[in-house]
A and B are shown apart, each in its own frame.
Chain A
């Protein structure tokens, strides 16, 4: 269900899924220094400074991912996918370190089975999903979504999962269910960023996020359990994460253990940390700048090195306006950023 904007992308030729990347993932990861004999690259590509004490080497241990059964999304070649190796090595997941390369390095040991995702709050039918339920309870489908980070870079990612609405409907919400509150796993033993404020960027964990109920019920709101046809790697939020493609990436909370329906707008992590910079809504909006960077354009990360000309215009609602603009009909989006 790729909702495309015909203007910005029609120039692109054809789907480049980079078969070799796909097949030689391990080889590539090795080259990039995430597994194996901690090459020179490992420390240097991770961060520039000699003050980078974070670069822990978890030797030769890669999180095992399994292939999933799902309904594939027909690919029309309108957008170039971000290669899997890049999707899985450029992550903001401060529970595993601040540098983009840290999560891939520090999260490979994350235990996801058993897992408990509790669905609770203002509903008639609270329930809990165990690890196997995540892959069996709802029919899995693929969705190719653009992901726009608040830091002005973006990717195109083939997720596998199911609609958030399926879960909420099954819970049979009461009339008091006005918002949805999400929570990431809190496990300092496994998540070094939760143990140390230095590694975790001074955030108060667990990471929490939220949506308005009508946003959550929108058919684009997605719970992902996989990407590129396999279960999620930990750095991308294994075993289950939210994907709300019209909002900045930090809304798409990872490694979720709780989905709660609530009456009041729930607190959200980045909003608590810097309320002037990150709002509750965080809809992708080229007209409203982040105080420290413009949001008018973005760099699309696909293949190509330093000389890739990849700066493109940012679209309102990340190009998904047709689906979601109506949710914000009478709202001043400069005020509710």
Chain B
């Protein structure tokens, strides 16, 4: 178990080392800022979708052990999202805070991205075992919000792009499929509120 967990950690961490090594040394193409924002954004989304793939796979292939990877993958998704946001603030806006706030308010794609980020942040904070226990059934309800966050991220992706619809389209289809796999659960959740 520890071996496969280490592999997941390394597979998530090493691309980041590679990315920042080249970005800092200006060997990441002409505009390292754009590249790190896109890399971490796509990385966060990929990890989020992989996280969502865990429960259905565990069920379908009767491999409950898979569930042990769910939290760590979710946390890596958050880590990438956090870096994505920090990259945007530090390297794109270069700490122009007033610009950050006006962007969050005025640009729908940033507003939606921010909403997704806030949800992921809440899920991360409440992922600690102790807090999970304290929250009882509320925990599951809160964590169902991951579906909303994923939809928001795909919308964010789609709106952030100038003309291409294929790449966000493929992500939208994958997400729709992942959500369809848990149709019953989501219906129940939405009914109960």
Contact = CB atoms under 8 A, between A and B. Distances in A.
A293 B24 CA distance: 25
Interface in A187-226: 197-198, 201-203
Contacts of A198: 164, 166
A271 interface: no
Q: Tell me the interface secondary structure of chain B in the complex.
A: helix
B24 A306 contact: yes
B91 interface: yes
A101 B23 CA distance: 15
A258 to B, nearest CB: 23
A32 B22 CA distance: 10
Contacts of B24: 305-307
Interface in B7-25: 15, 18, 20, 22-25
B46 A31 contact: no
A229 to B, nearest CB: 19
A160 interface: no
Contacts of A301: 30-31
Contacts of B99: 294, 296-297
Contacts of B91: 306-307
Contacts of A131: none
A136 interface: no
26 contacts: A41-B27, A45-B22, A45-B28, A46-B29, A48-B35, A48-B38, A49-B167, A51-B42, A51-B170, A89-B29, A90-B30, A90-B31, A98-B164, A100-B31, A201-B162, A202-B165, A292-B107, A292-B108, A293-B103, A296-B99, A299-B31, A301-B31, A305-B32, A306-B20, A306-B23, A308-B26
Given A289-B106, A292-B109, 15 more contacts: A47-B42, A48-B42, A49-B46, A50-B46, A87-B30, A98-B163, A100-B31, A153-B31, A203-B163, A291-B107, A292-B159, A294-B106, A296-B99, A297-B99, A306-B32
Interface string A120-133: 00000000000000
A232 B151 CA distance: 43
Interface in A230-282: 273-274
A69 to B, nearest CB: 28
Contact of A305 (B26, B39, B106, B170): B26
Q: Tell me the interface secondary structure of chain A in the complex.
A: loop
Given A294-B99, A297-B99, A48 B32 contact: no
A311 interface: yes
Nearest to A34: B29
A100 B39 CA distance: 13
Contact of A311 (B22, B28, B96): B96
Contacts of B170: 51
B163 A273 contact: yes
B28 A305 contact: yes
Contact of A293 (B38, B94, B107): B107
